[in-house]
Amino acid sequence: MSKRELHFGLMFWAGGTHPSGWRYPSSHAGAAFDIEFLQHVTQLAEAAKFDFLFLGDRLASDPALQTTNPSQMSRLEPFVSGASLAAATSHIGIVVTANPTYYDPYNLARMFASLDHLSEGRASWNLVTGADAIAAGNFSRDAHWDTERRYDWADEFVAVVRGLWDSDAVTPLRHKGRYFDVAGPLNIRRPPQGHPVILHAGTSDRSRELGARDADVIFAGQATIESAKAYYADVKSRASKYGRTDSDIAILPGLTPVVAETTAKAVEIYDHLNSFVALDPEGDGGGAGRYGSMGGMGKRRNLTAVSAVIGVDIAGQDRDGPSIPSCWQRPMRRGNDCSRISRVSPGVT
């Protein structure tokens, strides 16, 4: 029987992944820009035998995040941070997020090769195609590309980057494709790893295809064991047509742990975090409800958030009444509350 090992990575968010983490009394308000703190966190993860520390990134600042997750609104550039972390550690992998939609393959190949040399073979690329539509305005574009164009671009982009890593300062690349015309070679020695590790996440068909072909590690976030198994099987089956085996791709589920001495104490911390989020009351006479129903003791849900997700205002509806809004009972017409609804399944509550 082959020996299998658990792999752990830490995704660094300055205030934690909970939307109220920044408001917790022990939170470090300036953590996103405190490189000594970030180095310390990475050193702790390294000492705990974690495989990598993950630096996310966004290419736009969304003011809506200032009261929910300011660490996602403003942060250090990840390549600069990654180089600093490499200098402060010796074994842990350094994962840097880079979006090919708004990069040039030559520059990106050179930056990752440089980070791989500085870290002595510990650099990793978190490949994202970009969900932030507002990023287009920061890169002289009229609009954010649709999914198909982003993934078409990313497919060729990855091929060019890999080719440049193999060019090793002397071998021309001479790539001429649909989107890129790159002569090469890359003006840096081949990365110590050859090809730095590629991470990817996503559930769309194009994302799964890219992951099956190019990713070494895939982040998964399915809500149930059944859906997680189905996702795992689908990606692994796709990989086989690219000549890859099951062991070529590690699929890692994402978790947000709340750590304490006991379960009761962990639930208390979770509910404390939830209490910082101002939410709508749910017909119980007033007062802000908890964020919860995710394992904590809070029983209320945020109907405003649900309404935003499904496109139907349910905050003022009777919770014990029919789950199908009245607008489903008549044809949609412009000007009524249902005109915003597109492809929302009836019965969602």
Task: Read off the pLDDT of residues 7-28 as tens digits, 9 standing for 90 and up.
Answer: 999 999 888 888 888 888 888 8
The per-residue pLDDT for range 151-207, each reduced to its tens digit, is 999 999 999 999 999 998 889 999 999 999 999 999 999 999 999 999 999 889 999
How far is it, in rounded angstroms, from Cα 208 to Cα 231? 9
Q: Using N-to-C axis directions, what is the helix angle for 78-88 and 35-47, rounded to 10°?
A: 50
Q: How confident is the model at residue 3 (pLDDT cuts 50, 70, 90)?
A: confident
Contact 61, 97 (CB under 8 A): no
| Residue 13: its H or E element | none
The per-residue pLDDT for range 56-85, each reduced to its tens digit, is 998 988 887 776 677 788 889 999 999 999
Instruction: Name the CATH code of domain 9-201 (choices 3.20.20.30, 1.10.630.10, 3.20.20.70, 3.40.50.2300).
Output: 3.20.20.30
How far is it, in rounded angstroms, from Cα 164 to Cα 170? 10
User: What is the spatial order of strands in the sheet that 93-98 belongs to?
Assistant: 9-12, 52-55, 93-98, 123-127, 197-201, 217-220, 250-253
Total residue length of the chain = 349
122-131, 227-236, 265-274, 290-299: least confidently modelled range: 290-299
| Strand ranges for the chain from DSSP E | 9-12, 52-55, 93-98, 123-127, 175-176, 181-182, 197-201, 217-220, 250-253
Which range, 68-72, 114-118, 241-245, 246-250, has the best average confidence (pLDDT)? Answer: 114-118
Q: Cα dist. 292→266, 279, 319 in Å?
A: 13, 11, 17
The per-residue pLDDT for range 308-348, each reduced to its tens digit, is 667 777 766 665 666 554 454 444 334 444 444 433 333 33
Alpha helices per DSSP H over 16-172:
35-47, 70-73, 78-88, 105-118, 147-167
Give the pLDDT of residue 295: 44
- Give the other-Cβ count within 10 Å of 47's Cβ: 11
Give the pLDDT of residue 312: 76
Stretch 238-256: mean pLDDT? 92
The per-residue pLDDT for range 37-56, each reduced to its tens digit, is 999 999 999 999 999 999 99
Residue ranges per domain, the chain?
9-201, 263-340
How far is it, in rounded angstroms, from Cα 348 to Cα 272? 29
Q: How confident is the model at residue 299 (pLDDT cuts 50, 70, 90)?
A: very low
Averaged pLDDT score across all residues of the chain: 84
Give the pLDDT of residue 249: 94
The per-residue pLDDT for range 117-148, each reduced to its tens digit, is 999 999 999 999 976 788 999 999 999 999 99
Give the pLDDT of residue 163: 97
Contact 218, 211 (CB under 8 A): yes
Give the pLDDT of residue 300: 47
Give the pLDDT of residue 64: 74
Q: Compare 342 and 216 and report the one with higher pLDDT.
A: 216
The per-residue pLDDT for range 198-207, each reduced to its tens digit, is 999 988 999 9
Tokens standing for residue 90: 């010796």
Tokens standing for residue 326: 């009245």
Residues of the chain with pLDDT > 90, as a percent, come to 57
Which range, 62-66, 95-99, 256-260, has the best average confidence (pLDDT)? Answer: 95-99
Rounded to 5°, angle at Cα 101 from 95 and 103: 70
How far is it, in rounded angstroms, from Cα 114 to Cα 116? 5
